[in-house]
Structure 1
Amino acid sequence: MGVEQNWNPAEIGPADAGTEATPDGLTEYLKGLNHDLGELLTREKALVFRGFHVTPDTLGAVYDLLLPNRLAYVHGNSPRTKVGQNVYTSTEYPQEFTISMHNEMSYAHAWPARLAFYCETAPETGGATPLVDGARWLASLDPELREAFAGGVRYLQNLHDGYGFGKSWQQTFETDSREDVEAFLAGTEAVWEWRKDGGLRVAQLRPATTRHPVTGAEVWFNQADQWHPAGLGDDTAARLAAVLAPEDLPQSVTLADGSPIPAEWVEQIRDRGLAAAVDVDWHRGDVLLIDNLLVGHGRRPFTGPRRVLVAMSD
């Protein structure tokens, strides 16, 4: 499959679906698709359902059809709030910052195949969700960088016990049980240790790219730029470096052999992903479904209140 230079997500409204402009109209359309939804999503990579006036009360029925097996955000590293049955707020970083492109949980042993976003409150300005074709993102990177990443990347997490930088291990794994955490990690090929201060250190070796199981497309599929101190900006990285050794940062990343990743490579990954992205602007009631392997996502800065909910499935 070639790299699509002018890719955009497919927008589906009531007229396209041949149904009424209501949440019931959307659910009728989705029920009619049945197994064809997966084929449609694989072909289009992302679908925007707009004009059906989905409300928080009707979202559950829509998500049940889009995401038949909703997953908990276990081992997720982004700050979120759980608001329903495996439904969460989208990443709660300050609204003035851009969130760079990434595939959800691409650093983990298992990741969701689909993500669905719902706009409950649209921002006053900005706040789009940019989407990037993962094959195009990969092709945009310099050959030297792609070659260095061919062996994969090594992620390191330091999760505190309730007080410290970043997320606690209890928040990350949605449990207070060490036994449950160990049972989860035992099936992930991760290496971990409990620290004397009650925290948890987790190291994982993961691939930098992957291939889609249906299309065979090879895509950039890692979060090296988000886990690297250079991705935090010079001021934040300098403040953290002043108080923490590199191996004690809440999260960090190296190449597979432990070699450091140059800051200029981190900036290239971040900037070229954003440059290749197309923005999905939000209107209240919109629903966005994406193939999490074929498409990376992020967030543009915004003003005013913005509430976008997300759920995921295998």
Structure 2
Amino acid sequence: MTQTDIWTPLEIEAEFGGDAGELVARLEDMGTRELTRLLTEEKGLVFRGFEVTHDHLDEVLDLLLPNRLAYVHGNSPRTKVGSNVYTSTEYPQEFTISMHNEMSYAHAWPARLAFYCQIQPGSGGATPVVDAGLWLNSLDAEVREAFAGGVRYVQNLHDGYGLGKSWQDTFETTSRADVEAFLDPTGATWEWRADGGLRVSSVRPATTRHPVIGTEVWFNQSDQWHPAGLGDDTAAALAQILPEEDLPQNVTFADGSPIPAAYVEQIRDRALEHAVDVDWRTGDLLVIDNVLLAHGRRPFTGERRILVAMSD
């Protein structure tokens, strides 16, 4: 691929002074069907210069994401700040968040994500996105073949005190019955632990196909759930505290055999190598097709507040 062939998301800029009213009018004129067609064709859309404020965010999101979903069974720390609107992953700002398709470890995932910049970062803090089909094709044949049977994800969710997330936060409930009702149709197995925690195990495919255009894409979070994805120092520190099977989250091949660290590092690095950065200004929005594009986060300084919502 040459430099001129590099894919980037489509940027849609304000034309008439730029405010939320102009964006709402343009989205209403476009309509849901045309927006879906455009997003499938372009994979990602960036709306710039409309200076959307938090007060008008719901009105805009109602058009971009007609059926907003709750972040139930989500594995990253977030704070709910509105009607199924959340902070983006609350992960230390000095670290890169590697590429991933949202909730690709789950039995169902959002089809579309919208990111909103409430406070632009002082520096850095771009949201990198990568074509998930390109990601798949960039991997060595040996890696693709090794993952052909899928992966097994294991979550160890504490009962309010411990490493990682609690089961109450993960499922947005304090009812064990509600958790079991959610998990029952997913094909997962689970076990309530003596300490009040919950262990959930799920086998999922490593790739999927886009439901409209049929493109096969890399679609799993093995590199984020594997200790090798944490970096040597962090992984070594955790190993002193807990065995791998008791980590807040862990991943193996579907048959339970370990995934080599070298595979995990290749998966992580190839995605970041091919990623395209979306830089932020206050009021910007980014909408992505969650199957066709994976996303991450660059390190940053300053406050940086990005909100995220998702829909089916």
TM class, shorter-length: over 0.9
Q: Is 1:8 equivalent to 2:8 in the alignment?
A: yes
1:21 corresponds in structure 2 to: 18
Any stretches of 5+ residues in structure 2 without a counterpart? none
CA distance in 2, matches of 1:229, 1:137: 21
Choose the corresponding residue for 1:106, options 74, 80, 104.
104
Per the TM alignment, residue 243 of structure 1 is displaced from its structure 2 partner at its CA by 1.6
CA distance in 1, matches of 2:46, 2:195: 46
SS of the residue corresponding to residue 186 of structure 2 reads: coil
How many residues align? The count is: 308
Cα distance per residue 1:161-200 (max 9 Å; x no partner): 0111000000000000000000000011100010000000
Kept in 2, the 8 Å contact 1:161–1:168? The answer is yes
Choose the corresponding residue for 1:129, options 127, 130, 135.
127
SS of the residue corresponding to residue 165 of structure 1 reads: coil
Per the TM alignment, residue 235 of structure 1 is displaced from its structure 2 partner at its CA by 1.1
SS of the residue corresponding to residue 268 of structure 2 reads: helix
CA distance in 2, matches of 1:131, 1:248: 31
- Summarize the Cα distance change of 1:182–1:5 in structure 2 as closer, same or farther, 3 Å threshold: farther
Choose the corresponding residue for 1:60, options 58, 61, 73.
58
Runs of 4+ in 1 over 6 A off after TM superposition: none
Question: For residue 13 of structure 2, what is the amino acid of its counterpart?
Answer: G
CA distance in 1, matches of 2:277, 2:239: 34
SS of the residue corresponding to residue 27 of structure 2 reads: helix
CA distance in 2, matches of 1:124, 1:57: 23
SS of the residue corresponding to residue 231 of structure 1 reads: helix
Question: For residue 26 of structure 2, what is the amino acid of its counterpart?
Answer: Y
SS of the residue corresponding to residue 185 of structure 1 reads: helix
CA distance in 1, matches of 2:247, 2:69: 28
2:305 corresponds in structure 1 to: 307
Choose the corresponding residue for 1:51, options 49, 52, 55.
49
Q: Is 1:150 equivalent to 2:148 in the alignment?
A: yes
Question: For residue 302 of structure 1, what is the amino acid of its counterpart?
Answer: F
1:119 corresponds in structure 2 to: 117
Any stretches of 5+ residues in structure 1 without a counterpart? none
Cα distance per residue 1:11-45 (max 9 Å; x no partner): 00123xxx551100000000111110000000000
CA distance in 2, matches of 1:227, 1:79: 14
SS of the residue corresponding to residue 154 of structure 1 reads: strand
Kept in 2, the 8 Å contact 1:159–1:167? The answer is yes
Per the TM alignment, residue 95 of structure 1 is displaced from its structure 2 partner at its CA by 0.2
Kept in 2, the 8 Å contact 1:5–1:136? The answer is no
Question: For residue 115 of structure 2, what is the amino acid of its counterpart?
Answer: F
SS of the residue corresponding to residue 216 of structure 1 reads: coil
Cα distance per residue 1:109-153 (max 9 Å; x no partner): 000000000000001110000000000000110000000101110
Within 5 A, what are the aligned runs for 1:1-314?
Answer: 6-15=6-15, 20-34=17-31, 35-314=33-312
Quote the sequence identity (%): 73
Per the TM alignment, residue 5 of structure 1 is displaced from its structure 2 partner at its CA by 5.3
CA distance in 2, matches of 1:56, 1:87: 11
What TM-score comes out, normalization by structure 1 length? 0.97
Question: For residue 82 of structure 2, what is the amino acid of its counterpart?
Answer: G
RMSD, aligned CA: 1.0
CA distance in 1, matches of 2:109, 2:29: 28
Per the TM alignment, residue 52 of structure 1 is displaced from its structure 2 partner at its CA by 0.4
CA distance in 2, matches of 1:115, 1:134: 15
Question: For residue 135 of structure 1, what is the amino acid of its counterpart?
Answer: G
